[in-house]
Amino acid sequence: MKRRVFSFLLGIMLALSLVACGSDEMPEGERIELNFINKSATKLVTRDYVLRSDEEDITALVEEILYELSVVPEDLSYIPVMNQGFVVDSFEVKEGKLTLSLSSKYTELEPGVEVLTRAALVKTLTQLDGINYVLFQVNGVALMDALGNPVGVLSSDSFVDNQGTQINPMEETKLKLYFTDEEGTGLVGVNRTLTYNTNMSLERLVIEQLILGPSPEVTEVFPTINPETKVLNVTVKDGICYVNFNSAFLTQPYSVSAEATIYSIVNSLAELTGVNKVQISIEGDSSVIYKETISLSTPFERNLDMVKEN
């Protein structure tokens, strides 16, 4: 359902004016929360909203929301995320994924504001039936983060709700990570206390720490993942954590079994509340046979049989 949206503002404004003229009552419809950026640009704020478009017309619903996210409030109490200089050139909804193609002005947003803008759009649009994920593009090219990595497909769970007063507040957390033993066939649990940026989800934090490997002062445990591996995307839905790696994940420089690598990831993520299974894919492809041994086609459950005592 790809569609140019340069004319949607006029159509939505006309429709809303007709509704306003015909009735003084708020129309009945699906209620959602619109997400905006607070005046000091440090966190998201929400406003209740009743959808006016046909609930079966996903294109009209997306256009309506994009318009509402562009309206400047009279009291200037928040920043409309769609009124910051960039526009949506086109969008497409297919198999639960909304692809938003943004103009080049989007890349001129301050890094912190850009993260909040992205979060506001995802959190708002994924409330629509039929949209579970959002993929951002700029001039038709995948959006990159501040580190030069593809942002990838995002869900509402990709963003840690931020209730603090800073744009990137730091919090302390305790993780249990599983690395391999000297033989490269078993797993050993290691506790690690970290202070991290809450704009990163805990699921992504776990994966990044596994790629980083064991701390030098921790002996008798060894890394399981190629350090050249990049995390393209991490999302959680219905208890399943979806992890998307780049192709470097398939190259293993260490003497470690395929099972130890896979279950170091699965067991570590399963320590987090809300994660029961893990689905691994390589650049979006889950039909891969890892090291010609393990199929990635179905989600993995925790395997404690591989865990050895410290």
Q: pLDDT means per 10 residues in the chain (310 residues)?
A: 45 45 54 93 90 94 97 90 96 93 94 88 94 92 77 75 50 90 96 78 93 85 96 92 96 96 98 96 94 96 90
Q: What are the C-alpha distances in Å from 145 to residues 10, 87, 264? A: 32, 19, 26
Please indicate, yes or no, whether residues 24 and 126 belong to a single structural domain of this protein.
yes
Terminal alpha carbon distance of the chain = 54
Please indicate, yes or no, whether residues 144 and 257 belong to a single structural domain of this protein.
no
The token pair that represents 24 in the structure block = 């003084």
Please indicate, yes or no, whether residues 295 and 154 belong to a single structural domain of this protein.
no
The token pair that represents 206 in the structure block = 């776990």
Q: Which of 158, 179, 212 is the last residue of a domain?
A: 158
164 assigned to some structural domain? no
- At 81, phi and psi to the nearest 5? -65, -25
8 A C-beta contact, residue 167 and residue 43: yes
**Which residue stretches of 34-144 are H helix?**
58-68, 111-125
34 assigned to some structural domain? yes
Helix axes 111-125, 58-68, angle to 10 degrees: 140
Q: Which of 119, 135, 158 is the last residue of a domain?
A: 158
Please indicate, yes or no, whether residues 132 and 212 belong to a single structural domain of this protein.
no
Please indicate, yes or no, whether residues 53 and 185 belong to a single structural domain of this protein.
no
Please indicate, yes or no, whether residues 96 and 201 belong to a single structural domain of this protein.
no
User: What's the domain range around 198?
Assistant: 170-308
Q: In the 8-state DSSP scheme, what is residue 74? A: T
Q: Which of 158, 193, 209 is the last residue of a domain?
A: 158
Please indicate, yes or no, whether residues 14 and 150 belong to a single structural domain of this protein.
yes
Give the dihedral sign, CA 208/209/210/211: positive
Task: Please report the pLDDT score of residue 28 as a whole number.
Answer: 64
pTM for the predicted model, two decimal places: 0.54
Residue 138 pairs with which residues in a beta bridge? 102, 141
Element spanning 295, H or E? strand 294-295
- Tell me the residue ranges of DSSP E strands in 169-283: 170-180, 187-197, 231-237, 240-245, 277-282
Domain count for the chain: 2
Starting at the earlier edge strand, list the strands of the sheet with 187-197.
170-180, 187-197, 307-308
Q: Between vectors from CA 187 to CA 224 and to CA 227, what angle results, nearest 5°?
A: 10
163 assigned to some structural domain? no
Please indicate, yes or no, whether residues 109 and 190 belong to a single structural domain of this protein.
no
- At 234, phi and psi to the nearest 5? -135, 125
Please indicate, yes or no, whether residues 71 and 175 belong to a single structural domain of this protein.
no
Please indicate, yes or no, whether residues 117 and 245 belong to a single structural domain of this protein.
no
Task: Please report the pLDDT score of residue 24 as a whole number.
Answer: 44
165 assigned to some structural domain? no
Task: Please report the pLDDT score of residue 15 as a whole number.
Answer: 47
Please indicate, yes or no, whether residues 196 and 73 belong to a single structural domain of this protein.
no
Please indicate, yes or no, whether residues 100 and 154 belong to a single structural domain of this protein.
yes
Helix, strand, coil percentages in the chain from 3-state DSSP, rounded to 5: 25, 30, 45
